[in-house]
């Protein structure tokens, strides 16, 4: 899985770049992004786009968000 580190960026760049990466995903593809804080606006935007996601604290700081475009049309949080 490709991992993009946006922790060094100032708002709104982490959100904008994470959404650009998510929008570029094809069916069944995934990407992982690192953000400085829990990206609630990003998670809301991913859900609105029908993308699955999972967020967890990164051991070296920030939050790791796994994003996947499901092969099916419905989005949900990843287990």
CATH code for position 64: 3.30.110.40
CA-nearest of 10, 46, 13 to 65 is 46
Where in the sequence is the domain holding 28, given as residue range(s)?
A: 2-68
Q: Which residue has the higher pLDDT, 33 or 74?
A: 33
Predicted confidence at residue 75, as pLDDT, reads 53
pLDDT of 49-74, one tens digit each? 999 999 999 999 999 999 999 996 55
Q: Total structural domains in the chain?
A: 1
Q: Has residue 23 been placed in a domain?
A: yes
CB environment 65-78: b (16+ within 10 A), e (fewer): bbbbbbeeeebeee
Q: Has residue 52 been placed in a domain?
A: yes
> Looking up tokens 């992004």, which residue turns up?
33
Q: Has residue 15 been placed in a domain?
A: yes
Query: pTM of the full predicted structure?
Result: 0.85
């Amino acid at each position: 899985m490709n991992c993009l580190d946006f922790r060094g960026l100032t708002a709104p760049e982490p959100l904008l770049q994470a959404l650009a990466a998510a929008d570029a995903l094809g069916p069944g593809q995934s990407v992982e992004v690192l953000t400085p804080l829990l990206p609630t606006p990003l998670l809301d935007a991913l859900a609105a786009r029908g993308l699955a996601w999972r967020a967890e604290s990164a051991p070296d700081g920030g939050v790791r968000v796994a994003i996947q475009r499901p092969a099916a049309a419905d989005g949900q949080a990843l287990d």
